[in-house]
């Protein structure tokens, strides 16, 4: 038996993905790791198990005429972490009988991976401080010649997450600078971090005055769990994360969450199938836990290049 163990950096090189994706796979329990001191290691046998699990095709259904064959390579979705996106990945993979491989690494990194051709779909919610518009200003700058379509997925309620009963009486961004308040942040490149920094700037708040601003977590639930475990007093994130952990929530902003599809000859048929599935009544009916979300524009194509107009 091969008893070698690899670092997350080495695993990232083996799979040709970012090391942040490796950490996300570990956090989600899809890749098992162990610690030696404060160093993370992944055994060789675990890498082989994970590779085999990614090869396993879904079973075809004779009763599903719209099911299409699995692509040779899974459809790759990168970008912001979201609970409805997790639901979409699971439901669409089952309904359409092909694999969607998610990588929740933040909106900016997801969009850049799409730009570099390293994924097929980007899930983003990036606020442009100058125009106060979501997503499209970044897309217009990056995607000039590529065949893309942008779909409105949901609107989400972002705000201040605090312990049940709000014992620290935290209601405004100015409260984050108090000496008795410990904050937990999201990583640079996350859409939530973009929004937070824009809000801090508009209120004239220097981040260096916030205790815990440098303490970063990679998804909403991880950040909210700091509050739940008493390791911090406040986080900035979505209402759904607060609700799942029984925490209180102070609403601040309604943001736009979009999916960006980049078409290639290899993925075109599968992306079109995914778009039609997202626009279907069956998918919308499957969305039941919508606290903190609005899906009234779900499936609406808000931008597409001329080359994709006949596709969607």
pLDDT confidence of residue 148: 97
Out of 36-40, 159-163, 303-307, which region has the weakest mean confidence (pLDDT)? 36-40
Q: State the average pLDDT over residues 230-243.
A: 96
Out of 44-58, 75-89, 183-197, which region has the weakest mean confidence (pLDDT)? 44-58
Using the predicted structure, report yes or no on whether residue 282 has a pLDDT greater than 50. Answer: yes
Share above pLDDT 70 across residues of the chain, in percent, rounded to a whole number: 90
Using the predicted structure, report yes or no on whether residue 213 has a pLDDT greater than 80. Answer: yes
Residue from 232, 192, 196 nearest 211 by CA: 232
Q: State the average pLDDT over residues 263-280.
A: 95
DSSP 175: G
Using the predicted structure, report yes or no on whether residue 224 has a pLDDT greater than 60. Answer: yes
CB proximity list for 245: less than 8 A, separation 6 or greater: 221, 224, 225, 227, 228
pLDDT bucket at 3, cuts 50 / 70 / 90: low
More confident residue, 99 or 65: 99
The strand pair at 216-217 and 39-43 is best described as: unpaired
pLDDT bucket at 13, cuts 50 / 70 / 90: confident
Q: State the average pLDDT over residues 242-268.
A: 96
200/311 Cα distance (integer angstroms): 41
pLDDT confidence of residue 204: 97
118-156 per-position pLDDT tens digit: 999 999 999 999 999 999 999 999 999 999 999 999 999
The 3-state secondary structure of 179-211 reads CCCCEEEECCCCHHHHHHHHHHHHCCCCHHHCC
More confident residue, 116 or 58: 116
Q: State the average pLDDT over residues 229-257.
A: 96
50-68 per-position pLDDT tens digit: 777 665 444 444 444 454 5
pLDDT confidence of residue 289: 84
Which CA distances in Å does 130 have to 126, 137, 138, 257? 12, 10, 11, 18
Q: What is the mean pLDDT of the chain?
A: 89
Using the predicted structure, report yes or no on whether residue 16 has a pLDDT greater than 80. Answer: no
User: Domains in the chain and their CATH numbers?
Assistant: 1-55 (1.10.10), 64-312 (3.40.190.290)
């Amino acid at each position: 038996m091969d008893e070698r163990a690899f670092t997350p950096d080495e695993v990232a090189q083996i799979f040709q993905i970012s090391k942040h994706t490796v950490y996300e796979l570990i956090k989600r329990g899809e890749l098992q790791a162990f610690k030696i001191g404060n160093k993370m290691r992944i055994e060789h046998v675990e890498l082989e198990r994970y590779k085999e699990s990614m090869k396993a095709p879904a079973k075809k259904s004779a009763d599903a005429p719209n099911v299409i064959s699995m692509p040779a390579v899974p459809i790759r979705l990168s970008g912001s972490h979201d609970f409805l996106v997790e639901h979409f990945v699971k439901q669409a993979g089952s309904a359409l009988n092909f694999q969607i491989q998610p990588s929740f690494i933040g909106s900016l990194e997801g969009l850049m991976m799409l730009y570099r051709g390293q994924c097929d779909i980007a899930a983003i919610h990036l606020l442009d401080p100058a125009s106060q518009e979501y997503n499209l200003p970044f897309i217009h700058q990056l995607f000039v010649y590529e065949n893309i379509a942008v779909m409105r997925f949901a609107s989400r309620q972002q705000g201040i997450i605090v312990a049940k009963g709000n014992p620290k009486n935290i209601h405004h961004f100015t409260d984050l600078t108090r000496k008795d308040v410990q904050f937990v942040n999201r990583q640079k490149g996350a859409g939530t971090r973009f929004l937070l920094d824009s809000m801090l700037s508009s209120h004239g708040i220097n981040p260096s005055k916030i205790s815990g601003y440098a303490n970063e977590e990679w998804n909403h639930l991880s950040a909210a769990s700091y509050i739940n475990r008493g390791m911090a007093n406040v986080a900035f994130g979505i209402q759904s994360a607060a609700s799942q952990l029984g925490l209180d929530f102070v609403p601040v902003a309604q943001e736009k969450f979009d999916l960006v599809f980049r078409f290639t000859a290899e993925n075109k048929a599968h992306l079109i199938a995914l778009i039609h599935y997202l626009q279907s009544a069956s998918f919308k009916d499957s969305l039941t836990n919508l606290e903190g979300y609005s899906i009234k524009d779900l499936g609406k194509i808000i931008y597409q290049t001329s080359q994709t107009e006949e596709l969607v």
